[in-house]
């Protein structure tokens, strides 16, 4: 799917975001025959949230049938633990490892190229 025209403010936000992700090694340039367009929506704080229109990819994806564990079962399993940690992953979706063969399906088009 081709990237559609965007307001200059969104183009600037998208370009900066992906330049930072590219420098961090979270994304790489792509020549995939598949891609989804990128756009922005305004956050309540005034910044921009980057969005990828993965509609076609989602339509072709078979949903996982793995049950989600109940909260009380997880908490009970942690009751005898002595070490806990928490973290806040900024832009966490860009830090999830993916099978090499699946990467071409998640290519995104931006006003400046494809990643």
**Which pLDDT score, from 0 to 100, does residue 40 have?**
96
| Model pTM score | 0.76
Domain count, the chain: 1
Which is higher by pLDDT, 14 or 89? 14
Residue 69 lies in a domain: no
The pLDDT score that the predictor gives to residue 33 is 94
Contact, 38 vs 14, CB < 8 A? yes
89 lies in some domain: no
The answer to whether residue 37 sits within a structural domain is yes
Cα–Cα separations (whole angstroms), residue 38 to 1, 47, 49: 10, 16, 10
Q: What's the CATH code of the domain at 41?
A: 3.10.10.10
Task: Tell me the pLDDT band of 55, cut-offs 50, 70 and 90.
Answer: very high
Domain coverage including residue 52: 1-61+105-115
pLDDT digits (tens, 9 = 90+) for 74-103: 899 898 888 888 877 777 777 788 899 999
pLDDT, residue 32, reads 95
């Amino acid at each position: 799917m081709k990237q559609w025209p965007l307001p200059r403010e969104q183009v600037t936000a998208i370009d900066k975001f992906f330049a930072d992700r590219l420098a961090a090694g979270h994304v790489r340039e792509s020549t995939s025959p598949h891609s989804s367009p990128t756009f922005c929506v305004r956050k309540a704080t005034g910044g921009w949230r980057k969005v990828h229109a993965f509609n076609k990819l989602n339509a072709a994806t078979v949903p996982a049938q793995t049950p989600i564990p109940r909260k009380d079962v997880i908490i009970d399993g942690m009751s005898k633990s002595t070490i806990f940690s928490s973290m806040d992953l900024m832009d966490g979706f860009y830090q999830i490892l993916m099978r090499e063969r699946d990467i071409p399906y998640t290519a995104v088009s931006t006003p400046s190229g494809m990643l």
